[in-house]
Every structure is written in C-alpha cells, then in structure tokens.
C-alpha cells in the first residue's frame, strides 16, 4: 500500500479489525469482545471500508515483534463428552508471558528502561534483561486430539479470560468420517486486542442428534501477539454499533452451566456458516484479497481520466 509501505501482514489485519463496519445488527452471532470491538463468527469484524482503512493507515502505529505464548499441553483424563459440554481450562500467567518475552528478540527501542525497570535490574543483577511486561493477543490457535465415530458432529468453543466466545467447530452434516480430529489445529482472531492473562476455557460437545461417541485426549493453546513495557491503550472502535440481545426464546439452543451464570448459545444458525477448520481460518488470505481489491478500486476512482488528444 503506497500510503504505508512499511505495514506488515499483521498490521493490515489489525487495520481491518479496527476499521471494519459491523452490519446486520439483528443477527445474534455478534458479541462485544474484551478489546472493545464487535465480532461475529459469521461476519468477522464486519465489512471492509477501504477509505477508512487507508486513512487510518496514515497514522497507524506499527505492531511490535510477534510474541508466541505456548501453554503446556493438557492431557485429559475422563474426556468423554456428549450433548452436555465438557469444560476444560488452562491458565496463562505472568511467568508464562515472561518466558515468551525472553525468547523474543526486541529492537532497542523496545528496551528503553523506566525507573521501575532500572530498579528491577538493580534487584536482579546488572546483567538482567529488561523485557516487556504487557501482552496483547492477536491470533489464537488450539490444537486438539479428539476421537469420535462421526467427525461432523463435533462442536468446539474457546472462551477467553475476557469472556469472548470463539466458535471453532460447528456441525458438518456431510462429514461422516470416523477419524476424529487428530492433532487438529484451529485458529481464531475473535480475541484480537485482548489481554492473555487468566483462564482460557475449551468446551467440547457433540450435536444433540448425534448417535456417536467422542473423547478428547489432549489439547494445547498457543497465543500470538505483541508485548510492550507499558500498558496498551484501549481500543477505540471506528464505528458505533448496537449489539443485539444475547438471549432468545428459540428452542434450538443448548444451555450450559458456567461458574456463575447459565449462558445460552444458538447452534441452529451456526451450522451452515462456519467451517470445521475454525473461526475465520484463513482470514489472512481473505482479508488481503478483499482489502486489495477494494483499495485498487478506490485508487482507480481517485485517479484522473486520461485526456484524449
């Protein structure tokens, strides 16, 4: 993009997420994320506004080096699941982030010390390395090992510490494979801009009409994002959007008990829209293709027509 040739693919994705315009506000798949954005597993962050994206790019602050936070692989005992959701969890804490920061090469500008950080170096020795202390999520992957007699019946959700629900797998009526999901990786950007700290919850079930049986053997969580020595600013959505009610009296719902409340998620409307590979899997390619098509159209519209002699 000529206005900002220094943008990386992650910056372009961030620009799209921040400047996209939500639509079809009556659809109940929309939810507020912990980063202050609106996200739908059907529509992502919304439709792309090429003009707004280009204008925002002019003052966009480049994302920092990518930091990879890998949570320990969780082996599951008694992982049999049914219509009732099996809830599993893993914690991301300060120690896990610190190890990820230590493994990431940061430019010198990221290593400028504050008074508090100099005190940390003094306390831990002159050779201690100042590292970022804050992490912001961008991409999340979940790798699972699940057995099931009918793969298309498997349902998978990921819930972030902020409460954002990423729909990773929905019903696939034509997928009758008995292979299950062996070392299968899902990806989502639903949690873009959120804090990583806290409990991440994986929920697994199968469709209410399933006659098969399933078991999750193990799973792991990997977070991709950026680090900073100072807290990240709050994301300010570029457009206002009123989210629809989260609860309906539709009968085609499955309710599950949370720690304090009973949440209800509509499964009927999600069967045909999402794919097994996960929420927005391949979103990078999709974003780039649509984005550049709209940018080129915008440029052509702004260019003067050639004069005939």
Segment holding 208, helix H or strand E: none
Q: In this structure, is residue 122 part of a structural domain?
A: no
Q: What is the mean pLDDT of residues 39-64?
A: 93
Quick check: is 275 in a domain?
Answer: yes
Question: How high is the mean pLDDT of the chain?
Answer: 77
C-beta separation of 4 from 60 below 8 A: yes
Query: CATH code at 33?
Result: 2.60.120.260
Model confidence pLDDT, tens digit, residues 193-211:
999 999 999 999 999 888 8
Whether residue 1 lies inside any domain: the answer is: no
- Assess whether pLDDT exceeds 80 at residue 246: no
Q: What number is the average pLDDT over the span 48-68?
A: 93
Q: Is residue 231 part of a domain?
A: no
Q: What distance in Å separates the CA atoms of residue 304 and residue 14, rounded to the nearest whole number? A: 31
* Within-domain flag for 125: no
pLDDT tens digit sequence for 173-196 = 999 999 999 999 999 999 999 999
Of the two residues 115 and 282, the one the predictor is more confident about is: 282
Indicate whether 257 pLDDT > 90. no
pLDDT per position as a tens digit, 135-176: 999 999 999 999 999 999 999 999 999 999 999 999 999 999
pLDDT of residue 295: 62
Q: How many structural domains are present in the chain?
A: 1
pLDDT at 234 over 60: yes
Structural domain of residue 61, as residue ranges? 9-113+130-226+244-300
Q: Is residue 256 part of a domain?
A: yes
- The mean-pLDDT minimum among 46-60, 61-75, 119-133 falls in 119-133
303: pLDDT confidence band, cut at 50, 70 and 90? low
DSSP for 145-179, written as a single string: EEEES-GGGEEEEEE-TT-PEEEEE---TT---SS
Distance CA 10, CA 12 (A): 5
């Amino acid at each position: 993009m000529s206005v900002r040739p220094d943008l990386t693919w992650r910056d372009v994705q961030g620009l799209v997420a921040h400047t996209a315009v939500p639509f079809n506000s009556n659809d109940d798949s929309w939810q507020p994320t912990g980063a202050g954005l609106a996200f739908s597993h059907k529509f992502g962050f919304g439709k792309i506004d090429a003009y707004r994206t280009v204008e925002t790019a002019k003052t966009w602050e480049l994302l920092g080096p990518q930091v990879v936070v890998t949570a320990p692989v969780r082996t599951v005992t008694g992982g049999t699941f049914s219509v009732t959701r099996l809830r599993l969890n893993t914690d991301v804490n300060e120690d896990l982030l610190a190890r990820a920061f230590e493994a990431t090469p940061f430019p010198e500008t990221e290593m400028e010390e504050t008074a508090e950080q100099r005190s940390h170096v003094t306390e831990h020795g002159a050779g201690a390395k100042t590292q970022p202390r804050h992490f912001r999520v961008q991409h999340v992957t979940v790798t699972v090992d699940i057995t099931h007699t009918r793969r298309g019946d498997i349902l998978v959700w990921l819930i972030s510490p902020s409460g954002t629900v990423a729909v990773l797998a929905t019903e696939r009526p034509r997928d009758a494979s008995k292979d299950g999901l062996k070392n299968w990786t899902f990806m989502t950007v639903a949690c873009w801009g959120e804090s990583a700290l806290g409990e991440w919850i994986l929920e697994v079930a199968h469709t209410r009409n399933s006659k098969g049986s399933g078991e999750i053997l193990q799973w792991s969580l990997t977070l991709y994002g950026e680090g900073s020595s100072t807290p990240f600013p709050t994301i300010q959505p570029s457009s206002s959007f009123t989210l629809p009610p989260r609860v309906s009296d539709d009968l085609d719902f499955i309710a599950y008990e949370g720690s304090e409340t009973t949440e209800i998620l509509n499964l009927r409307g999600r069967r045909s829209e999402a794919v097994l590979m996960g929420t927005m899997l391949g979103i990078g390619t999709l974003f780039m293709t649509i984005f550049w098509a709209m940018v080129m159209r915008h440029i052509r519209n702004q260019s003067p027509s050639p004069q005939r002699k």
